Amino acid sequence: MNQACKTILLFFSLIITIQSCIEPQETFSKIPSGSWRGVLYLQDNPVVVDDKDEITYGQDVTGQLPFNFEVIYDNDTTFHIEIKNDTETIRIDDVTFGRTKSLAKDTVGIHFKVYDTYISAFYEDDLLEGYWHVNYRENYKIKFRAKHGDNRRFILPANDALAADFGGRWSLIFDQGTEDAFDGVGVFRQDGNHIAGTIETETGDYRFMEGSVSGNKAYLSCFDGAHAFLVESKLLEDGTYSGLFYSGNAYVAPISGKKNPDAKLKDSYSMSKPSSDKAAKFESFDSNRAPFSLDREDLRDKVKIMMLMGTWCPNCKDATEFLRELSKKDEMKDVAITSVAFERYRDTSRVFEQISTYKSKGNIGWPVVLGGYYNKMEASKSFGLIDTIKAYPTLLLLDKSNVVRHVYTGFYGPATDQYEGFKSDFYSKIESLKNE
C-alpha cells in the first residue's frame, strides 16, 4: 500500500474516531430527559418604566416568566414532566408526542387537565416552541419556549453589587391609589442571590414562588398550569419595595410596600357571614348528574364542610389536599365534605365534564356538585348560604342541624407560614361542633 493510500485510510479512521467520541451517550425517540428551562412571554412588547419610583429593566428580562421542569422517562416510550416551583413538584402525566404530516415537525402536548389548560409546542434540536392555551378564556394563549439542559430560572445581567435583603415580611399594596387597590403580605426567604416565598392576599396566596436577587432587584415566578405569576421588584434607597406583578398576559399591577415583621391581613373568618341562623337548604347535582341535597339521609346528624371552589383554581386544589388529609383521620368519620364548583363555563354539559375530570383525576372521595357560574356577584346571589362570596375557595362549617356556623374566606396553603396554624384552628372548630 503506497503512502497516499495509508494517509487516506488514517484520515478516515481519525474522522470515525472523532465522531464516535462526540456521539451522545443517550438517544431519545422523543424529547430528551433531564432539566429544561421554560419561559412564558407575558408581553410581546415589554414596557420599560423610567420613573424613578418604578422599575427600569432590560428588555431581556421584563415580562418573561421562567420556570423549571424535568422530563422523566418511565420506560423506553413513555415519559412524564415534573414542574418545579420552590419546594413544590407538580407531576404531569398527560403528555403527548407526535409528528405533524403537513409540517413534518415533532410536536409535544402538555395537558393540565384538572385546570383545563395545555401547552402545545414544536420540538427541534433541544428546543420547544409554542403556546400555553387556556380553554375557558376565548383566544387566550401565551408564547412559550423551552431549552433542554438549562436548570437556571432567571438569567440576569452580571451585577457585582451586594444582593439587597428582600427576606422577611412585607406590607404590600397593589394598584395603590385606584379603586382596584388591595393589600398583600410578602413572605420571602433569601439565601444569597436565591429568593423564594409567596404573597398572601385576602383571597388567598400566590403559591410557591421562586427566583433570584441581583443587586437591589428581585425576580420571582410561579407557573403551575393554572396561573402564571411574575414579580419584578426593586428596593429603593429609603427601603421602599417597588415592583410590578403580572398575572398571565392580561393583568399587570404596580406593587409598593415596606418591610413589616407584623404585617397581616383581615381575619379570614370575618369577611363573609352566614345569611341565616336557620338550617341551610341546598340542592344541586353531583359530577354524575345525580341529585344532591344537604337533607339526604347519609348526611343526617353530621357536621358538614362545604368548600366553594373552582376546578380552575390552584388554591382550591391546595384546600382539596387539606380536606383529603383531614378526611383520613379516624375522628372525621362523622364529618361530611362537599365541594361546590363554580366554573368558568355557562354550558352545563361542559361544566359537568370538567368537574367529573377534576374529581377522577384528583381521586376525590366526596361529592363535587354544581354551584354555578364563577362570577362572584352572580354566585353570591345563586348560592345564598352566605352574604357574599369574596374568594375561591371559601370554606363553610355547618353544624349537625345544617346551620352555617363558620365561614373561612380564601386559603393560605402550604406555601405560607400560616398553614399549620390554620389547620389546627379549623380542626378545633370541627371538634367543637361535633361535641355539641
Q: Check residue 61 and give its pLDDT.
A: 59
Task: Give the span between the Cα atoms of 95 and 115, in whole angstroms.
Answer: 15
Please state which of the four CATH numbers 2.40.50, 3.40.50, 2.60.40, 2.40.128 is assigned to the domain occupying 34-148: 2.40.128
Task: Name the phi and psi angles at 348, rounded to 5.
Answer: -60, -40
Task: Give the span between the Cα atoms of 153 and 143, in whole angstroms.
Answer: 17
pLDDT tens-digit profile of 325-378?
A: 999 999 898 999 999 999 999 999 999 999 999 999 999 999 999 999 999 999
User: By the 8 A CB rule, do 280 and 293 touch?
Assistant: no
Nearest to 39 by CA among 128, 146, 112, 117: 146
* pLDDT, mean of residues 137-148: 95
Task: Give the span between the Cα atoms of 212 and 218, in whole angstroms.
Answer: 6
Q: Which CATH class is domain 283-434?
A: alpha beta
* Residue 17: band (very low, low, confident or very high) from pLDDT cuts 50, 70, 90: very low
pLDDT tens-digit profile of 224-262?
A: 999 999 999 999 999 999 999 999 999 999 999 999 999
pLDDT tens-digit profile of 153-195?
A: 999 876 767 889 999 999 999 999 999 999 999 999 999 999 9
Nearest to 30 by CA among 78, 100, 101: 78
* pLDDT, mean of residues 29-52: 73
Please provide the CATH number assigned to the domain covering 168-259: 2.40.128.120
Give whole-number Cα distances, 217 to 48, 53, 184, 233, 328, in Å.
15, 13, 19, 6, 44
Start and end residues for every CATH 3.40.30.10 domain found in the chain: 283-434
Amino acid residing at 329: K
* Residue 2: band (very low, low, confident or very high) from pLDDT cuts 50, 70, 90: low
Q: Which residues are registered as beta bridge partners of 339?
A: 307, 368
User: By the 8 A CB rule, do 156 and 212 touch?
Assistant: yes
Task: Name the phi and psi angles at 434, rounded to 5.
Answer: -65, -35
Q: Check residue 391 and give its pLDDT.
A: 97
* pLDDT, mean of residues 403-430: 96
Q: Check residue 430 and give its pLDDT.
A: 97
Bond into 393 cis (ω within 30) = yes
* pLDDT, mean of residues 388-410: 98
Start and end residues for every CATH 2.40.128.120 domain found in the chain: 168-259
Rounded to two decimals, the pTM is 0.86
Between the two ends of the chain, the Cα-to-Cα distance in Å is 103
Task: Give the span between the Cα atoms of 154 and 38, in whole angstroms.
Answer: 10
Residue 263 has pLDDT above 50, yes or no: yes
pLDDT tens-digit profile of 87-126?
A: 999 999 999 998 887 888 999 999 999 999 999 999 999 9
* pLDDT, mean of residues 73-84: 93
* pLDDT, mean of residues 19-36: 60
Residue 55 has pLDDT above 80, yes or no: no
